[in-house]
């Protein structure tokens, strides 16, 4: 069986850290640690405080 899961992740980060890099690292960790077949970041949206 295969299931698509859609997650919303909110992260706090320094201005130096890009959302693309954070997303890539999260995907890499999911694939490595949870035997995820494929992970991708499709978009991001900044959050105003």
- Tokens encoding 47: 């959050």
The tens digit of pLDDT for each residue in 7-41 reads: 999 999 999 999 999 999 999 999 999 989 999 99
Are 30 and 9 in contact, with CB atoms under 8 Å apart?
no
pLDDT at 2: 85
- Tokens encoding 8: 């919303």
What's the pTM value of the predicted model, to 2 decimals? 0.80
Q: Where are the alpha helices (DSSP H) in the chain?
A: 19-33
The Cα 36–Cα 29 span in angstroms is: 9
């Amino acid at each position: 069986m295969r299931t698509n899961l859609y997650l919303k992740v909110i992260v706090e980060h320094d201005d130096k850290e890009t959302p693309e890099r954070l997303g890539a690292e999260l995907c890499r960790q999911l694939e490595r640690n949870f035997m995820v077949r494929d992970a991708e970041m499709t978009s991001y949206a900044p959050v105003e405080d």
